């Protein structure tokens, strides 16, 4: 069904392009993702011709080259580049830096874009803004501009518009785990390209873990050699094999390769040209099975790890030689990644090896680290305060030690939320950036304590999760479903976050853990289209966002992905009815929508409820189809559309189709709740 729907979307786009000659371009919907802050559509169009050239103002040379390299292959046009300045855009695409363009004081990335019948002008205070303007310009073109080969029979026209735009958050990121399963350099670049097309600017590269160390460290060559003889992936991990649920081989080494330092430099430079910073993650004190198998002398036990599990119990030791091992690795890593932020991991670190180590216990006493009452959590059931073990505080000490080391090179450390658990929030260096993944409550606690926060909570930002409740879609590791709607309606500023601390929420990112993503196409299926929702909620102001409108614009974005060769998960059908808080007020309420355009023949139709946000959800009584005001089909049973869906699918049967009739879909719901909920109803 979903693949068929993708084909329908393609046909719909073709119909639209064929009719461009007779329908006003100003009347055609724009499919920009993310939605710009201000868009004014005008009459008319600008057409690319063999004489069209790009004028690159000083400081925009790279942006001009990238734009030309995107346009030339698909159009077959020469699109020459001239440096300098130009007045009127006479068959030109002018790129220029202008400190007065857009809002120079806004988060970096603001720009203005003007398309007239004569040409195009993109102005911005920074080259970053110019680049984002070019990405919007490409989205205004036919989607075939994203083809790598020349496409015939396409009118290369751009609708006339005036756009003023700027991002809402400074950190608009995506994460990729290339440690569990290795992905080729070409795919990492493609991933970066897809981010750039949606104006995302931070790439979190999870490059080492227990199952594979993918970063060449010249001083310690065994790190990348230890997994060489292991298979790249195991058959049980294949998510496309429907004969059984996919299962990750936790703790088993995965071969497939690693990135040389020259590879890393190439990828980092590639990202930089597209205004994306790359943050590497070097995991410690846990998730170090590969590292401690290669160099067991740096582990707490001094022995090769033998326990293979998700939560590796093997921890780095805290003696000076082990600390220098980490410092050496961080030094080589920092030489490859110029970005200010570097990730230290810090999650899922069982402490029992530290508890049992005589050396570690002695060292903690020397450092004055001891168990103490938990001052941040309520007492236990016995009424007594909980005790934070000394080993918990030792993790903050280790984090701070490495933070001091990287600070010498102007770097800031980032860690998963475990770095602040217990009383660590009191001792953790204030330069630390916290990434809450278990709960946004930790993010609020961190922000209210003065720490910067990058939101990446499992719900809804872990993209290795179900995208639908369909049981046949067994691509998940973390459960769900976490849908487009869940992401789009996410609230970054809960009431418990003090208003004066909102600035500590730097932004957010989508997480792409690869335990059950064995190939690049698996990553694309899980990440897209949900990455588009992440991009929009981080760019577009909340008051400008509309999920129904986003769903329709996403059809155009999907066409661009199709041309670019992305294995995105086919879009769900657009909703027939949407409900919002406050619409359900009476004891029994009804929602109605004209669905004449969707009823084309006799037969069976299904109605599905999608819950997006709110408290109780909807108690559903019945669904019926009206033909010229008369009920011709009904399904009456109690259903519920909330965080947990129950009996939320309804069936209708139309025995005879009347091509001249008006068809209405009516949904009857009980007034016993749901007044604070939001969702949509789909007829298909």
For residue 27, pLDDT beyond 90: no
What are phi and psi for residue 346, nearest 5 degrees? 95, 0
3-state secondary structure of 561: helix
More confident residue, 293 or 245: 293
For residue 21, pLDDT beyond 60: no
Tell me the C-alpha distance between 540 and 546, whole Å. Answer: 10
For residue 87, pLDDT beyond 90: no
pLDDT for residue 583: 64
pLDDT for residue 608: 85
pTM (two decimals): 0.88
- CB-CB neighbours of 28 under 10 Å: 15
Percent of the chain topping pLDDT 90: 74
Contact 437/458 with Cβ under 8 angstroms?
Answer: yes
3-state secondary structure of 85: coil
For residue 672, pLDDT beyond 70: no
For residue 6, pLDDT beyond 60: no
For residue 337, pLDDT beyond 90: yes
pLDDT for residue 471: 66
CA distances from 474 to 464, 479, 484, 488 (A): 10, 10, 17, 23
In DSSP terms, 159 is beta-bridged to 45
pLDDT for residue 242: 81
Cα four-point dihedral sign 82, 85, 88, 93: positive
For residue 581, pLDDT beyond 80: no
DSSP 483-514: -HHHHHT--SS-TTS-GGGGGGEEEEEEB---
**539 preceded by a cis bond (ω within 30 of 0):** no
Contact 82/51 with Cβ under 8 angstroms?
Answer: no
pLDDT for residue 614: 74
Confidence of residue 13 (pLDDT cuts 50, 70, 90): very low
Weakest mean pLDDT among 134-143, 165-174, 551-560, 646-655: 646-655
pLDDT for residue 8: 33
Percent of the chain topping pLDDT 70: 92
Weakest mean pLDDT among 455-464, 551-560, 566-575, 631-640: 566-575
More confident residue, 299 or 476: 299
pLDDT for residue 477: 81
pLDDT for residue 586: 55
Confidence of residue 616 (pLDDT cuts 50, 70, 90): confident
pLDDT for residue 22: 41
The structure tokens listed for 660 are 């001249």
- CB-CB neighbours of 628 under 10 Å: 11
pLDDT digits (tens, 9 = 90+) for 421-447: 989 999 999 999 999 999 999 999 999
Average pLDDT rounded to a whole number, residues 585-589: 64
Average pLDDT rounded to a whole number, residues 208-230: 97
pLDDT digits (tens, 9 = 90+) for 479-489: 888 889 899 99
Element (H, E) at 405: helix 390-407
Contact 605/625 with Cβ under 8 angstroms?
Answer: yes
Residue matched to tokens 């005001």: 629
Domains and CATH numbers, the chain: 26-165 (3.30.379.10), 171-358+392-539 (3.20.20.80), 577-683 (2.60.120)
Closest CA to 277 of 121, 108, 112: 108
pLDDT for residue 184: 98
Mean pLDDT of the chain: 90
Weakest mean pLDDT among 282-296, 297-311, 316-330, 564-578: 564-578
pLDDT for residue 23: 44
Contact 45/53 with Cβ under 8 angstroms?
Answer: no
pLDDT for residue 132: 98
Confidence of residue 35 (pLDDT cuts 50, 70, 90): very high
């Amino acid at each position: 069904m979903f693949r068929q729907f993708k084909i329908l979307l393609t046909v719909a786009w073709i119909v639209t392009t064929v009719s461009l000659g007779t329908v006003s371009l100003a009347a055609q919907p724009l499919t920009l993702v993310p939605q710009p802050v201000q868009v004014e559509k005008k009459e008319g169009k600008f057409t690319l011709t063999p004489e069209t050239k790009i004028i690159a103002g000083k400081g925009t040379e790279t942006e001009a080259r990238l734009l030309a390299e995107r346009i030339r292959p698909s159009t077959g046009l020469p699109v020459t580049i001239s440096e300098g300045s130009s007045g009127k855009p006479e068959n030109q695409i002018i790129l220029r830096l202008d400190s007065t363009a857009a809002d120079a004081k806004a988060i970096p990335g603001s720009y203005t874009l003007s398309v007239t019948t004569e040409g195009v002008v993109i102005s911005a205070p920074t080259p970053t803004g110019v680049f984002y303007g070019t990405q919007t310009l490409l989205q205004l073109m036919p989607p075939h501009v994203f083809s790598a080969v020349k496409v015939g029979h396409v009118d290369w026209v751009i609708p006339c518009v005036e756009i003023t735009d700027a991002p809402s958050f400074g950190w608009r990121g995506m994460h990729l785990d290339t440690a569990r399963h290795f992905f080729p350099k070409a795919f990492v670049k493609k991933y970066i390209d897809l981010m750039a097309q949606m104006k995302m600017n931070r790439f979190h590269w999870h490059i080492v873990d227990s199952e594979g160390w993918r970063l060449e460290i010249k001083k310690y060559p065994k790190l990348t050699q230890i997994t060489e003889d292991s298979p790249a992936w195991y058959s049980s991990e294949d998510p496309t094999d429907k004969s059984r649920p996919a299962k990750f081989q936790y703790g088993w080494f995965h071969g497939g390769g690693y990135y040389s330092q020259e590879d890393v430099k190439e990828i980092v430079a590639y990202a930089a040209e597209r205004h994306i910073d790359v943050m590497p993650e070097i995991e410690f004190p846990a998730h170090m099975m590969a590292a401690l198998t290669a160099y067991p002398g740096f582990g707490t036990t001094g022995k090769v790890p033998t326990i293979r599990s998700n939560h590796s119990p093997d921890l780095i030791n805290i003696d000076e030689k082990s600390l220098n091992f980490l410092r050496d690795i961080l030094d080589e890593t920092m030489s490859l990644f110029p970005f200010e932020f570097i990730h230290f991991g810090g999650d899922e670190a069982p402490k029992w090896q530290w508890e049992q180590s005589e050396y570690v216990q002695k060292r903690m006493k020397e450092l004055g680290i001891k168990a103490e009452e938990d001052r941040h959590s309520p007492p236990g059931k016995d009424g007594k305060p909980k005790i934070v073990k000394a080993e918990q505080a030792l993790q903050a000490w280790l984090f701070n030690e490495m933070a001091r080391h990287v600070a010498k090179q102007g770097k800031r450390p980032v860690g998963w939320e475990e770095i602040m658990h217990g009383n660590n929030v009191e001792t953790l260096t204030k330069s630390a950036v916290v990434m809450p993944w278990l709960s946004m409550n930790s993010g609020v606690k961190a922000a209210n304590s003065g720490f910067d926060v990058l939101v990446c909570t499992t719900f809804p930002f872990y993209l290795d999760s179900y995208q639908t409740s369909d049981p046949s879609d067994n691509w998940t590791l973390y459960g769900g479903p976490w849908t487009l709607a869940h992401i789009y309606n996410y609230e970054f500023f809960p009431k418990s976050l003090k208003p004066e601390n909102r600035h500590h929420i730097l932004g957010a990112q989508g997480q792409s853990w690869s335990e059950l993503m064995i190939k690049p196409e698996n990553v694309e299926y899980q990440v897209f289209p949900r990455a588009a929702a992440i991009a929009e909620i981080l760019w577009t102001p909340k008051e400008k966002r509309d999920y129904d409108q986003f769903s329709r614009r996403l059809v155009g974005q999907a066409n661009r992905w199709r041309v670019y060769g992305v294995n995105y998960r086919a879009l769900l059908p657009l909703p027939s009815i949407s409900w919002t808080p406050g619409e359900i007020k009476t004891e029994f309420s009804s929602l109605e929508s004209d669905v004449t355009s969707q009823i084309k023949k006799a037969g069976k139709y299904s109605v599905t409820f999608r819950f997006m946000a709110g408290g109780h959800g909807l108690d559903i009584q019945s669904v019926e189809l009206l033909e010229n005001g008369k009920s011709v089909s009904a399904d009456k049973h109690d259903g519920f559309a909330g965080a947990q869906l129950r009996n939320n699918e309804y069936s209708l049967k139309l025995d005879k189709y009347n091509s001249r009739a008006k068809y209405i879909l009516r949904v009857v719901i009980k007034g016993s709740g749901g007044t604070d909920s939001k969702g949509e109803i789909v007829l298909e």
